[in-house]
């Protein structure tokens, strides 16, 4: 109750209502006459500050833009892939032929180098032509249309060399890879460098079994669009840097994918050129119709074969390098480098010389005009 008394008192007491009119008038006059109001800069200073600040901010932004634009800077792989998207995310160009010209090169001489031209029209008409890079001579020409295959007859006899492969049932001395493992791999075959010299008539080939979507035929037939799709899907693509391409003298930026597919390789000894048989063998492997069986003295299964055996199983790392032209933003080149224990074992390079759409012309797929003969489907 006592506090309420004090509150009551506070409310009861009337504070003085005193006003000093003369002092007020005097102070008012002095304030209004004060030099503070007379200085023009009082008003302007504020705007000068604002103006100076705004100008500095604009200059700063312009400078930042200039520096950003003209100073060399590191770009990210993501940025480059986004730029590629603008180039390659094109809708299907109806009634146009997609024409691609590529140059394929390898490090060794087992595949050599050649030019490949492809014309593709509405998914069901494809023409592929291979040329020797040096003399422009056609070394292969094929047209697929209306479910038929038209090929160039080279006159070359089919190879009669044989590879000793036992179909289906295993002999007592054979080596057998686990069928499940075989199914998961793609097969690539190429001769070793020391083939003829050491073994006379016999030849050795390296067989690569790569647990990736990499095979030499697939590598050659990929388009810039395929490469872009692959880069986009891979979260581990790295930006490596930029360089001037020694052939075109154009600036390129480089992206790298380090795939570590479970690559295995082994050597296969055979009696001479076995391309036809080897093609058949690979095809059958792909179709999983046979089990791999290599004629050798060893009885060790393929997966357990040691390095001193005829069959060698070793880990190979594959590095995929994509070069993009900075001027056009297009994929210029893709390279597969195969490393065994950090040593470059092999290198495959595909350069895109042209990639465009051209008007449809039936003559482009006229097999008669190019002397191509129909070839029956092989089972």
Give the interface with other proteins as residue ranges (CB under 8 A).
2-3, 5-11, 13-24, 26-28, 30-32, 34-37, 42-43, 46
Kindly tell me which of 28 and 251 has the beta carbon lying closer to other proteins.
Answer: 28
Q: Tell me how far, at minimum, the Cβ of 58 lies from other proteins, in Å.
A: 24
Nearest-angstrom CA–CA distance, 334 and 325:
12
Nearest-angstrom CA–CA distance, 36 and 360:
83
Kindly tell me which of 13 and 244 has the beta carbon lying closer to other proteins.
Answer: 13
Q: Tell me how far, at minimum, the Cβ of 238 lies from other proteins, in Å.
A: 51
CB-based burial, 103-130: b 16+ in 10 Å, e otherwise: bbbbeeeebeebbbbbbbbeeebbbbbb
Q: Tell me how far, at minimum, the Cβ of 44 lies from other proteins, in Å.
A: 9
Q: Tell me how far, at minimum, the Cβ of 43 lies from other proteins, in Å.
A: 4
Largest CA distance in the chain: 128
Kindly tell me which of 8 and 85 has the beta carbon lying closer to other proteins.
Answer: 8
Q: What is the DSSP letter of 159?
A: P
* C-alpha distance from residue 206 to each of 102, 108, 195, 278, 324 (Å): 26, 13, 10, 12, 32
The residue count for the chain: 379
Q: Tell me how far, at minimum, the Cβ of 50 lies from other proteins, in Å.
A: 12
Kindly tell me which of 20 and 86 has the beta carbon lying closer to other proteins.
Answer: 20
Kindly tell me which of 8 and 79 has the beta carbon lying closer to other proteins.
Answer: 8
Kindly tell me which of 15 and 172 has the beta carbon lying closer to other proteins.
Answer: 15
Q: Tell me how far, at minimum, the Cβ of 73 lies from other proteins, in Å.
A: 40
Kindly tell me which of 6 and 379 has the beta carbon lying closer to other proteins.
Answer: 6
Q: Tell me how far, at minimum, the Cβ of 41 lies from other proteins, in Å.
A: 11
Q: Tell me how far, at minimum, the Cβ of 52 lies from other proteins, in Å.
A: 16
Q: How would DSSP label each residue in 60-115?
A: HHHHHHHHHHHS-----HHHHHHHHHHHH-PPP-TTEEEEEEEEEEESSSSS--EE
Q: What is the DSSP letter of 309?
A: S
Among 318, 324, 326, 374, smallest CA distance to 346 is for 318
Two tokens, residue 111: 């595949």
Beta bridge partners of residue 187, listed in sequence order: 209
Kindly tell me which of 36 and 343 has the beta carbon lying closer to other proteins.
Answer: 36
Are 199 and 205 spatial neighbours (Cβ–Cβ below 8 Å)? no
Nearest-angstrom CA–CA distance, 225 and 236:
19
């Amino acid at each position: 109750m006592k506090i309420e008394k004090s509150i009551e008192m506070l409310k009861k007491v009337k504070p003085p209502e005193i006003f000093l009119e003369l002092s007020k008038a005097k102070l008012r006059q002095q304030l209004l006459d004060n030099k503070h109001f007379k200085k023009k800069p009082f008003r302007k200073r504020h705007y000068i500050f604002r103006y100076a600040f705004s100008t500095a901010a604009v200059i700063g932004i312009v400078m930042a833009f200039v520096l950003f634009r003209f100073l060399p800077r590191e770009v990210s792989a993501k940025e480059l892939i986004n730029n590629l998207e603008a180039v390659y995310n094109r809708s299907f160009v109806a009634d146009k032929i997609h024409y691609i010209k590529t140059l394929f090169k390898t490090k060794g001489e087992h595949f050599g180098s050649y030019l490949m031209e492809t014309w593709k029209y509405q998914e069901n008409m494809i023409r592929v032509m291979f040329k020797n890079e040096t003399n422009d001579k056609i070394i292969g020409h094929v047209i697929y249309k209306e479910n038929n295959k038209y090929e160039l007859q080279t006159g070359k006899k089919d190879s009669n060399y044989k590879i000793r492969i036992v179909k289906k049932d295993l002999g007592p001395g054979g080596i057998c890879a686990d069928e499940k493992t075989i199914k998961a791999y793609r097969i690539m075959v190429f001769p070793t460098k020391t083939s003829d010299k050491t073994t006379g008539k016999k030849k050795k080939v390296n067989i690569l079994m790569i647990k990736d979507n990499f095979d030499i035929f697939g590598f050659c037939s990929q388009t810039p669009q395929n490469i872009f799709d692959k880069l986009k899907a891979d979260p581990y693509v790295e930006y490596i840097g930029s360089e001037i391409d020694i052939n075109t003298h154009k600036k390129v930026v480089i992206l790298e994918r380090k795939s570590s597919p479970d690559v295995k390789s082994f050597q296969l000894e055979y009696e001479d050129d076995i391309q036809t048989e080897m093609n058949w063998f690979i095809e059958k492997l792909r179709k999983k119709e046979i089990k791999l069986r290599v004629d050798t003295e060893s009885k060790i299964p393929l997966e357990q074969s040691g390095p001193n055996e005829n069959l060698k199983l070793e880990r190979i790392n594959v590095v995929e390098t994509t070069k993009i032209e900075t001027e056009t933003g297009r994929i210029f080149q893709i390279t597969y480098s195969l490393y065994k224990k950090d040593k470059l074992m092999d290198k495959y390079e595909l350069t895109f010389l042209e990639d465009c759409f051209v008007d449809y012309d039936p003559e482009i797929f006229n097999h008669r005009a190019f002397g191509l003969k129909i070839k029956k489907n092989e089972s």
